[in-house]
Chain A
Amino acid sequence: DAGVIQSPRHEVTEMGQEVTLRCKPISGHDYLFWYRQTMMRGLELLIYFNNNVPIDDSGMPEDRFSAKMPNASFSTLKIQPSEPRDSAVYFCASSLPGHYGYTFGSGTRLTVV
């Protein structure tokens, strides 16, 4: 298994543009998590899914953020419109039920200028 795959690795966009981050979890993992990492706030949980269903999105900062998981092998995190303060590294992670050691992707470094 190639692990959790995220794309793109780097994204630079202008303020106001729509940004879509992608994640492919490990096959068979029922849980998928989106985290945001910044110097100031560390790692913050944005949203997580269980069997493709969003369970807790209380960490999503604003309505500009949305996440979907149309099937077990794909999830997206969308920011529309993007703002400079959204600049961060966004990580996706997946795990099996009853096992809480996550496998993280390599992250997407987002820069909004």
Chain B
Amino acid sequence: AQRVTQPEKLLSVFKGAPVELKCNYSYSGSPELFWYVQYSRQRLQLLLRHISRESIKGFTADLNKGETSFHLKKPFAQEEDSAMYYCALHRTGGGADGLTFGKGTHLIIQP
């Protein structure tokens, strides 16, 4: 069975500092990985997908199959980045089985 691990429940950094939110996954096949963000009192929103190789709001994430990781990074944190961040995995091959989410990391950007 697939599993997503986000080792940090809470991460606090100062504004302007680099941010790295860790995500490790366990899946024997070829996964699709996502990052979702949930701002205070708002719905979960898709932040980025690994297959798009995109940068959204200054965030990037690289899939490292050797380390089975998909860490989210931003070089300079901003106060508006404070939110809950969820890493999610989808199995490829057949159907649209539900995403498996990590338990989330609460990112707090201090002024």
Stretch at the interface among A16-24, A66-74, A77-85, A103-111: A103-111
CB contact under 8 A between A107 and B101, given known A100-B34, A100-B96? no
* Residue A33 CB within 8 A of the other chain: yes
Bound together, the chains give a CA A69 to CA B46 distance in angstroms of: 24
Secondary structure class of chain A's binding surface, majority of residues: strand
* Residue A55 CB within 8 A of the other chain: yes
* Residue B90 CB within 8 A of the other chain: yes
CB contact under 8 A between A50 and B43, given known A42-B102, A42-B103, A101-B49? no
Bound together, the chains give a CA A48 to CA B98 distance in angstroms of: 7
* Residue B66 CB within 8 A of the other chain: no
The answer to whether B95 touches A50, judged by C-beta atoms less than 8 angstroms apart, is: yes
Bound together, the chains give a CA A31 to CA B97 distance in angstroms of: 9
* Residue A61 CB within 8 A of the other chain: no
Report the tally of A-B residue pairs with Cβ distances under 8 A: 54
* Residue B32 CB within 8 A of the other chain: yes
Bound together, the chains give a CA A41 to CA B104 distance in angstroms of: 10
Per-residue interface assignment for chain B, residues 95 to 111, with 1 indicating a CB less than 8 Å from any chain A CB and 0 otherwise: 11111111110000000
CB contact under 8 A between A107 and B97, given known A42-B103, A101-B49? no
Cβ-neighbour of B45 out of A33, A56, A59, A104 (below 8 A): A104
CB A10 to nearest CB in B, in angstroms, measures 12
- Name 28 interchain pairs, CB-CB below 8 A, sorted by A: A4-B43, A31-B96, A33-B98, A33-B99, A35-B101, A42-B101, A42-B102, A42-B103, A43-B103, A43-B104, A45-B99, A45-B100, A50-B96, A55-B95, A56-B98, A91-B43, A95-B96, A97-B96, A98-B96, A100-B99, A101-B46, A101-B49, A102-B44, A102-B46, A103-B46, A104-B45, A106-B42, A106-B43
